Amino acid sequence: MRGFGWFCAVLSALVVGGTFVGSASAETPKEEFDAAVTALERGAYGDAIDHFELLADRGFTHPDASFDRAAAYIGRARSPQKQPGDLGRAAAALAETLALRPDDREAESALDAVRSEIGRRRARTGGSPLVARPRLSRALVGLLPEQAWGVLGALGSASLAWGLALRLFVKRTTAEVPGALAAGIGALLLCVGGGLALEARHFRRTSTLAVVVVPEARLLDDAGRPLATPASGESNVVPEGAEIYVLERRGGLDRVEWGTTDGYVIAGQVREVEPRGADRP
């Protein structure tokens, strides 16, 4: 019995000790964020990146954390400890900042600067450009926010209804021309605004904006073989920092849209940009 008692005492001590260590090492998001900022301020970019990435892995999302994560990657990219893909990961973090805080001009300027730097580096080696020509439907949808297309369609619907009411219920010749004009304009706005609002909703539900975080991501077919060069002459290599759209996840591959070309890339080569509810550190 004495041996059993000693065993229980040791086991209890181990459990209590393990619980204490676990609780001591599990920092809150604010403590993790503060540690990341402190490391960033003293130029320990690797440590700052580790803290920021741990926050992201835990599901913590805030535009300040994304912006500072970008600063850490940019700092490391300009240091002797630079690693391939640092600027691409900085671009992804800045794109995430803008998704969470669209009016952040500082993040927008920083993103332009990062992409310009990537473009200059690729120009020196003859690499493909960062921007590919988008599909016409996606280019049209991108002219206005989804809500704006919806409002335009609603205005068209109201104008169409008003014009038809004038034509059908007002028995005066002076109402014929305004009624026909209002109905015609309303029908046009309803078709354009409503159609593009539906298209924007479709894109939002079926594709996710992502950024390439490796020096180059080669497009593959569904079997994982390199994709042939498209007949349009566009490159089948997506450069670092470029924006693409993830359409589907399939095992270790992501089906993506790059310009007018669809293909697959290795999942770890891109980082999705998803606006989620923002937490405050």
Question: Residue 233: is its pLDDT beyond 70?
Answer: no
Please list the residues that pair with 263 across neighbouring strands: 256
**Range from 88-102, 171-185, 212-226 that averages highest in pLDDT:** 88-102
CA 246/CA 120 separation, integer angstroms? 26
Superfamily grouping for domain 208-272: SH3 Domains (2.30.30.40)
211 or 131: which leads in pLDDT: 211
Note if the pTM is more than 0.95.
Answer: no
58-72, 115-129, 265-279: range with lowest mean pLDDT: 265-279
The model's pLDDT over 38-66, given as tens digits with 9 standing for 90+, comes to: 999 999 999 999 999 999 998 888 999 99
Q: What is the reported pLDDT for 6?
A: 37
Rg of the chain's alpha carbons, rounded to an integer? 27
CA 146/CA 197 separation, integer angstroms? 6
Q: H-helix or E-strand containing 166?
A: helix 146-169
Could you give the angle at the alpha carbon of 43 between the alpha carbons of 39 and 48, nearest 5°?
A: 35
16 or 70: which leads in pLDDT: 70
11-20, 162-171, 185-194, 216-225: range with lowest mean pLDDT: 11-20
125 or 17: which leads in pLDDT: 125
Question: Residue 225: is its pLDDT beyond 80?
Answer: yes
Tell me what the mean pLDDT of segment 262-277 comes to. 82
Do the beta carbons of residue 216 and residue 240 sit within 8 Å? yes
Tell me what the mean pLDDT of segment 133-151 comes to. 90
Domain 2-125 -> CATH class: mainly alpha
Q: What is the reported pLDDT for 270?
A: 94
Q: What is the reported pLDDT for 38?
A: 94
Q: What is the reported pLDDT for 25?
A: 43
Do the beta carbons of residue 273 and residue 120 sit within 8 Å? no
Token pair recorded at residue 44: 């320990």
CA 247/CA 257 separation, integer angstroms? 7
Question: Residue 137: is its pLDDT beyond 70?
Answer: yes
Question: Residue 3: is its pLDDT beyond 50?
Answer: no
Token pair recorded at residue 75: 């700092």
Beta-strand ranges (E) seen in 40-199 are none
> What is the three-class DSSP state of 248?
strand
